[in-house]
Amino acid sequence: MRSIYKQLRALKNHPLAGGLSNADQERIWLETCRKIGRSNLVIRETTVRLPVWSMSKFFSTPMAVSVASVVMLTTGFMTTVSASDSIPGETFYNVKILTERAQIKLASLDRKAVLHTEFAVRRLDEVAKLQAAAKNEDRQTVNQPLIDHTLVAYAVQVTQATDSLRELQAEDAESAVVIANDLASSLETIAPALDAVTSQVVSTNSTVGDVQQTTTAASALITDVAVESHETADTVLSASEIKKLFNNQLALIESRYSFDGRRVETLRRVIKELMVIDQELVLPNIKELDNYLVVMKGVEKDIVEANRVFDLGGYKTAFRIFESSKRLLLKQEIGLAKAEELIVDARGLIALRVEAEKVALAEAEAAAAQAVEAQAVAEAAVSAELLETDVPAEAQGEDAGSAVQNSGLDTEELFKLE
Amino acid sequence: MSVLQEKNNHGRGLWQGVSGSFAEMHKNFAPRIERYLYFKLPRKEDAEDLTSEVFARAWAYLQIQPIAHPNAFLYRIARNLIADYYRDNSKVGQATERQLLSVPDSMNLSKQTENRFAVEELLQIIKTLKSEYQEVLRMRFFDDMSVAEIAEALGKTSNNIRVVLFRAKNALNKATKSFKD
């Protein structure tokens, strides 16, 4: 009978017994992430650990918080100040993470969300420093795994900020609206830094995409929480905060819209100029740029619609419209950036050609001057040769004497001169 | 208390706000939840789809409050989803019966396990048992679950599970003997 049990146990991974292969399990996991609407990378956070963070489990224990507090109190701020500028991979970085965790543990719920956002900014700053360090030291390769992990740490902080906001929403809706507003502003300021950092990341995995997706999802979630909290609280403060949030988003989209409009116009002008110079150049398609203008018209209409809906009290719909406009603008901005790259390349090509022409011209001039000089030398040589062969020596002496006479100099003077 | 519970029993609450632990929970529980669904549903694809749904619902729940007993909780969601599945008659109409006997030779584990029964034979034998017995046997032998864990998952007492398991083993014994004959 025991052999039957053994056989049953041996079947546990068999497909016919419902066993899952690693690929099946991964597929189910990704599908779960999709249903949750969260980045796979963020949810997996604890499975991605760096050697320098190997003590991260310890950091999250109450004991670690006590240790951090004692360190902060007894060693003064010297250690923490030294640690604050450290970057991943450095000795003091652990102290920095430890201090942050201690701060989070000791913070109130509303402060937690803000702190997580601050730490997210720090992580981005660290990525920028890692990239700059690699450039300064003129390394051929940057420490990509370290950068990737720091980016993941950023995404985790952003996610934890929204999680804290959700918790706050359940406890105090009015405060949640205020904090949501703060977080939304912070995320908007993070966006350029994130773009700058991620544009330099040459990552073969999907880290950058996941990180950007997390930030976008966090932004949408923050507005959702703000609206829901306002609908629950419905106070004067929450109403004013939601209006402020809406106005901030509106101002942001409008500024992006007008900036993109200027970019399109500039690109069109430059393309036309370059086409006059050389029609063979690889340039962005003007028709595509015209399409961008059509998209922008759509965004313009969306802005008007969002305003109308917001005034009617459809806050969530208004923010949804903004999200969709942001996505459209982002897609368009990616296209514009590519077009600008083409322009830069074309200009570079033209500059190279001009430089080459200049060099060729200078070389031609030098060659011509040399030719003239050579000709002069040759002529002089020829005339000298003619003189030597055609005139006898006596005649040369007479000639010389007559020349002296012609010049009006006395023989004595001539001697003096000689 | 399961290993996972013990691991996460410090701090404010179990699993709450700990994103990484959700991944760990998925890794540990997804295979057994999928297997549970696999034997309850006619198609493997449906089992996989509902497994991800179970965890998506668990995640949504975790956003509101912690889960003290993830094992029992996940099985409860799975049972509810099975009920929903069969309530939807159209799905059942489309479903095709799994062909347990059409096993390719390469899948035959009888040689690997050095046993007298082929995979399909064993599964066929189990299939002849009462569904309650099948369930506890699968949990016990395929998923290596303890009596306490099975009891938690099925919402019964440990004593009850011990009795059911004893009867299930006896039934399996009889079934194998009659299969040989």
Binary contact (B35, A18; C-beta < 8 A): yes
The residue to which tokens 């306490």 are assigned: B148
Closest CA to A318 of A301, A302, A295, A299: A302
3-state secondary structure of A39: coil
Rounded to 10 deg, the angle between the A109-136 and A173-199 helix axes is: 10
pLDDT in tens, A146-169: 888 888 888 888 888 988 888 888
Note which residues in 95-154 of chain B have CB less than 8 A from chain A.
Answer: 100, 103, 107, 109, 112-113, 115-117, 119-120, 122-123, 126, 137-138, 141-144
A60 in the same domain as A27: no
Binary contact (B30, A29; C-beta < 8 A): yes
A57 in the same domain as A130: yes
Q: Which residues of chain B have a CB within 8 Å of the CB of A1?
A: 169, 173, 176
Q: What is the mean pLDDT of residues A63-78?
A: 60
**Token representation of residue B162:** 């011990």
pLDDT in tens, A353-368: 888 989 999 999 999 9
Distance CA A325, CA A303 (A): 8
A44 in the same domain as A20: no
Q: Does B61 touch chain A (CB under 8 A)?
A: no
Q: Does A386 touch chain B (CB under 8 A)?
A: no
**Token representation of residue A211:** 């990180």
Q: Is the pLDDT of residue A270 over 90?
A: no
B132 in the same domain as B56: no
Question: For testing the chain B interface, which of A13, A16, A26 should be mutated: the one with the most B CBs within 10 Å?
Answer: A16
Q: Which amino acid is at B62?
A: L
Q: Is the pLDDT of residue B18 over 50?
A: no
What is the pLDDT confidence band of residue A201, given thresholds at 50, 70 and 90? Answer: low
Q: Among A304-313, A391-400, B35-44, which stretch is predicted with the lowest mean pLDDT?
A: A391-400
Binary contact (B52, A43; C-beta < 8 A): no
A243 in the same domain as A202: no
Q: What is the mean pLDDT of residues A263-268?
A: 88
A301 in the same domain as A249: yes
Percent of chain B with pLDDT over 90: 4
> What does the DSSP assignment read for chain B?
--HHHHHT-SSSSSSTT-HHHHHHHHHHHHHHHHHHHHHHSS-HHHHHHHHHHHHHHHHHHHTTS--S-HHHHHHHHHHHHHHHHHHSHHHHHH-----TT---GGG--TTTTT-SS-HHHHHHHHHTS-HHHHHHHIIIIIS---HHHHHHHHT--HHHHHHHHHHHHHHHHHHHHHHH-
pLDDT of residue A360: 92
Closest chain A residue by Cα to residue B22: A43
Binary contact (A46, B49; C-beta < 8 A): no
**Token representation of residue A229:** 């909290």
Q: What angle do CA A201, A206, A207 make, to 5 degrees?
A: 55
C-alpha distances in Å from residue A164, one per residue of A108, A161, A180, B140: 10, 5, 10, 39
Note which residues in 70-89 of chain B have CB less than 8 A from chain A.
Answer: none
Cβ neighbours of residue A288 closer than 8 Å, sequence gap 6 or more: A335, A339
A206 in the same domain as A270: no
B89 in the same domain as B44: yes
> What does the DSSP assignment read for A198-247?
HHT---SSSHHHHHHHHHHHHHHHHHHHHHHHHHHH--HHHHHHHHHHHH
Closest chain B residue by Cα to residue A65: B11
pLDDT of residue A370: 92
A173 in the same domain as A95: yes
Q: What angle do CA A354, A355, A361 make, to 5 degrees?
A: 85
pLDDT of residue B106: 40
Contacts 24+ apart (CB under 8 A), A355-358: none
Q: Is the pLDDT of residue B5 over 50?
A: no
Give how far A266 is from chain B: nearest CA, Å: 46
DSSP state of A15: G
B66 in the same domain as B131: no
pLDDT in tens, A82-117: 667 788 878 788 888 888 888 888 888 888 889 999
Residue A356 CA, distance from chain mean position: 33
Number of domains in chain B: 2
Highest mean pLDDT among A365-379, B8-22, B84-98, B167-181: A365-379
- Between A212 and A270, the higher pLDDT residue: A270
Give how far B155 is from chain A: nearest CA, Å: 22
Binary contact (A47, B24; C-beta < 8 A): yes
Q: What is the mean pLDDT of residues A273-284?
A: 82
Binary contact (B30, A35; C-beta < 8 A): no
pLDDT of residue A73: 60
Percent of chain B with pLDDT over 70: 70
B79 in the same domain as B8: yes
Q: Which residues of chain A have a CB within 8 Å of the CB of B126?
A: 8
With b for 16 or more beta-carbon neighbours within 10 A and e for fewer, the A103-137 pattern comes to: bbbeeebbebbbbbbebbbbbbbbbbebbeebeee
B83 in the same domain as B29: yes
Note which residues in 59-78 of chain A have CB less than 8 A from chain B.
Answer: 60-62
Question: For testing the chain B interface, which of A36, A49, A116, A162 should be mutated: the one with the most B CBs within 10 Å?
Answer: A36
pLDDT in tens, A322-343: 888 888 888 888 888 888 888 8
What's the domain range around A271? Answer: 235-379
What is the pLDDT confidence band of residue A308, given thresholds at 50, 70 and 90? Answer: very high
**Token representation of residue A318:** 């208004």
A209 in the same domain as A196: yes
B62 in the same domain as B138: no
Number of domains in chain A: 3
What CATH number is given to the structural domain containing B116?
Answer: 1.10.10.10
A69 in the same domain as A24: no
pLDDT of residue B110: 42
Note which residues in 189-218 of chain A have CB less than 8 A from chain B.
Answer: none
A48 in the same domain as A27: no
A26 in the same domain as A84: no
Q: Is the pLDDT of residue A405 over 70?
A: no
A303 in the same domain as A202: no
Highest mean pLDDT among A128-137, A274-283, B23-32, B49-58: B49-58
Q: Is the pLDDT of residue A56 over 50?
A: no
Q: Are A230 and A176 in contact, with CB atoms under 8 Å apart?
A: no
DSSP state of A21: -
